[in-house]
Every structure is written in C-alpha cells, then in structure tokens.
Chains A and B, each alone.
Chain A
C-alpha cells in the first residue's frame, strides 16, 4: 500500500528544512524521485536532503551535466540525476542509468517522468507544485511504498 503525506512550505528555506528532516529517514539503496515543473523547487529540496545526509559539497542543478556526485560520512556515494534533457529510454539507458541504481548508493532523480518504467518498485516519490499563496510557497507530497 502506498502511504501518502503532504505539506505546504512557505519559503525556499522551509522547503530545504523539510528535506533535512526527510533525509534522516533515508538509508543506502534508497531511490528518491522528485516530480515538478520548472522552478517548483526540486533542486532546492535536493539541497535540503543532501544537507540532511551530511553532504558539505555545493549541491547545484545537474540539468546540463546530467549527474552530480556527492558524498558524506554515512553515504559514500550519492548521485543526483537530472533527466530533463533526456527524452527517450534509449538515451537514459545510454547514460548508464542502471549503473547508478545500486544498493550501495543513494540516488535522487529530477524529471523522473522520463524514466517512470525503469524506476525500482520501492522508489520514494515526491511531488512538488506551486501554490496560489505566494511565489515561494510550495505544496510537497510524499508517496512511500
């Protein structure tokens, strides 16, 4: 059964803080898929999650480089993927997608829509959207299998 949970954050900082708290529950091998349109806060949340995992490197958007790699004491390999520029399954398999998904690694995926069929069953899905409240407010929904 899918467990669901949603909150609304009021600022980029609150979005990050949510990520920090969420990260405390993560373990090696987890795959986290971040859904949401341009500017909805995926990278901001990824920054928070990485902070919570103990990463001290700068976490930035991997849209162009496709994969950023970070590490922390507890998580020696964290991959931050962004599939925005990859349009076909062939492209995605060609970048070595399966090599990144592995029980020793923790993987964050932005624009996972493009890889829906390849995601492991227990992928944690997070959906982000704008709200009408203000420019920095975001609706964040968590789906855990």
Chain B
C-alpha cells in the first residue's frame, strides 16, 4: 500500500502544505504563490502568527489538489526546527492535531535536513555518500552526508549567508527584492572581470565561507567611484560580484569533494537556482562528478521536501515506535 504523507512547513515566511504518494509529490502549495494568484498579488504579512490565518486554507488547498481524501492519509510530518519559534508552533501543532485526530504516525522534521535531500525528490533510493551545499538567504553550509540520518557539518558561513549578500548588494544597487534573481539577470550581459571583489579565503578554516567582506567592498567601490547612481555599470558590477560569491561556493565545495574522494554533490536552497552557480558546478560533470540540483520549486522553503524526507525516514524505519513517540509527547505536555 502506498504511503500518503501530509506535510506542513512554517519555519519562516512561507506557509506550505504538501501531499505525497510514496516518493511522488501530488500537491505542494506555498502561501506566497497561493495568495499571489488568489488575491492578485497581495502577499500576507510576514511570519509567525500570520501562519494561523493561512494554514487551514493552504492545507485544504493541498488536499484538494492532490485528489486524496483526508482519511487515506497515513503519515503526517511537520517542520520541527530550526526557525522562528512562533511560526514553527503553528504548523507543528496543526499537523500534530491532524495526526492525533486520524490516529496516524506523526514525525517532526529538521528543516535543514530536508533541504539536504530535496535534490532527490521522486527517487526511492539515494546513493551515499554525497556532499551537500545548502545555500540560501539564511544558510550557507557544507555537509558530508553518509546515510539518511548520519551527516556532519564541515563548513559554514562565518557571517552573512550567500543569499543575504545577494539581497543586500541588490539593495545598494537599487534593485528590486528579492535581489538574487535581479542580479543573476543583469549579470548575464555584464563583464565579470570588470572589477575583482575579494572572495574571502579563511586560511585556518578552508571549508568555511565569509560574504560580509564582499558586501562591504561593493559598498566602498560604489562610494569611491560613483557619485551619480544613475551612471552605475549595473551589468558589470552584478557580474563581478556574482563571480566572487559563486567562485567561493564552487571552489570550496569541489575542494572538499576532491579531498574526501566523493563524486556526488547535491546543491540545494534558494541560491541553487542561480544560473552562474549551476554552470559553475555543472562543468565538473565532465570530470565524472554527479551534480544534483533540486527542481526550482523545491529549492526555496516548501512542504514537499518535508514530506519527502519524512517518507524516507518512515520507509527505512528510522523513527521506530510511532505510538510511543506520540504518547511521550502528550505525556511531556502534562508534566510541564
């Protein structure tokens, strides 16, 4: 019998719900897109308690689109963390109530772990080990993934996340939000060797990243060279900045792959949609590396990846005693 998973994600800005049949996503509804089409572009206010107003609509829409009846669901998953505590509580409790009402297993999922596996949505088995780069507005982390639950962090940003650097530089240049796609587009017609922005090399920690220095150097570059903002060579600045960030991401990841002797690389998170980053990594396919990217819809926060990782954990029985876990969680509430 197929496992039908109902999954909820509310770790930050997005309210999202998804239904999966085994490893296949049947529906994946995300608030910003949902409300964009429903209400002509009005996105509800950011974060936390706003989720309370939207979760039921989003979950209902996910169920409807999937064509699956509530009573056929046999696994429930929700993001347990990390994230904004107020936001997490809404989705977590909604999903947990759902599982208790239907008396089916519930599983809390780590948001970052689910990103690690988002490249493989639709697959039933994954080849281990692989190196994972999770790169978004909030995170820039390198993982060595040995198994479904066995992995370790061996590199991360010491200051700004890569996606954050994109957004803040876009703001300095007067570009629209989100800045990542705006810079990516402008850079396509720019000269990436126009200016060399420093790509930080942390000598003691070869796998760690730093992007705040690049941000500051763009700021000073603009201040020194351009009094008149209308004369900015936007394309060239975007291309040069993007090159600095992408070079650092690709070089450190591939250095690790070489040093660890690992041929499989998975890049996920919002920045994985960047065209320069994609081409930078895909070059290595010639050297027999396997490069994995998630579909664009699964690169940013979404419930499908939560459901997929819950399915993997369930299938491989990595979380054993479901009812016991449910009971213990309920008991813990009374104790406090």
Task: Find out whether the CB atom of A60 lies under 8 angstroms from the CB atom of B45.
Answer: no
The reply to whether the CB of B262 lies closer than 8 angstroms to some CB of chain A is no
Task: Find out whether the CB atom of A135 lies under 8 angstroms from the CB atom of B45.
Answer: no
Most A CB within 10 A of own CB, among B48, B136, B160, B217:
B48
Point out the residues of chain A lying under 8 angstroms from B82, CB to CB: 65
Partner of B164, one of A61, A88, A91, A96: A61
Complex CA gap A90/B159 in Å reads 28
Task: Find out whether the CB atom of B216 lies under 8 angstroms from the CB atom of A66.
Answer: no
Summarize A's interface: helix, strand, loop or mixed.
loop
Interface size on A, residues (CB 8 A): 23
Point out the residues of chain B lying under 8 angstroms from A135, CB to CB: 216-217, 220
Partner of B12, one of A44, A47, A65: A65
Minimum CB–CB distance for B96 against chain A, Å: 19
Task: Find out whether the CB atom of B172 lies under 8 angstroms from the CB atom of A38.
Answer: yes
Interface residues of B in 12-56 (CB under 8 A from A): 12, 45-50
The reply to whether the CB of A5 lies closer than 8 angstroms to some CB of chain B is no
Task: Find out whether the CB atom of A94 lies under 8 angstroms from the CB atom of B157.
Answer: no
Point out the residues of chain B lying under 8 angstroms from A88, CB to CB: 45
Looking at B83-91, B124-132, B284-292, the stretch in contact with chain A turns out to be B83-91
Point out the residues of chain B lying under 8 angstroms from A67, CB to CB: 84-85
> Interface 1/0s, chain A 126-139, versus B by CB < 8 A?
00000000010000
| Size category of the binding interface on chain B | 35 or more
Minimum CB–CB distance for A88 against chain B, Å: 7
The reply to whether the CB of A85 lies closer than 8 angstroms to some CB of chain B is yes
Minimum CB–CB distance for A93 against chain B, Å: 8
The reply to whether the CB of B110 lies closer than 8 angstroms to some CB of chain A is no
Minimum CB–CB distance for A100 against chain B, Å: 9
Question: 22 A-B pairs, CB-CB below 8 angstroms?
Answer: A38-B215, A39-B212, A39-B219, A43-B159, A58-B156, A60-B158, A60-B159, A60-B161, A63-B161, A63-B164, A64-B136, A65-B12, A65-B82, A65-B138, A65-B139, A66-B47, A88-B45, A91-B47, A94-B86, A95-B48, A95-B84, A95-B87
With A60-B161, A64-B138, A95-B48 given, name 8 new contacts (CB 8 A).
Answer: A38-B168, A39-B168, A95-B47, A95-B86, A96-B49, A96-B84, A96-B85, A135-B216
Report B's interface with A, CB cutoff 8 A.
12, 45-50, 82-87, 136-139, 156-161, 163-164, 167-168, 171-172, 212, 215-217, 219-220
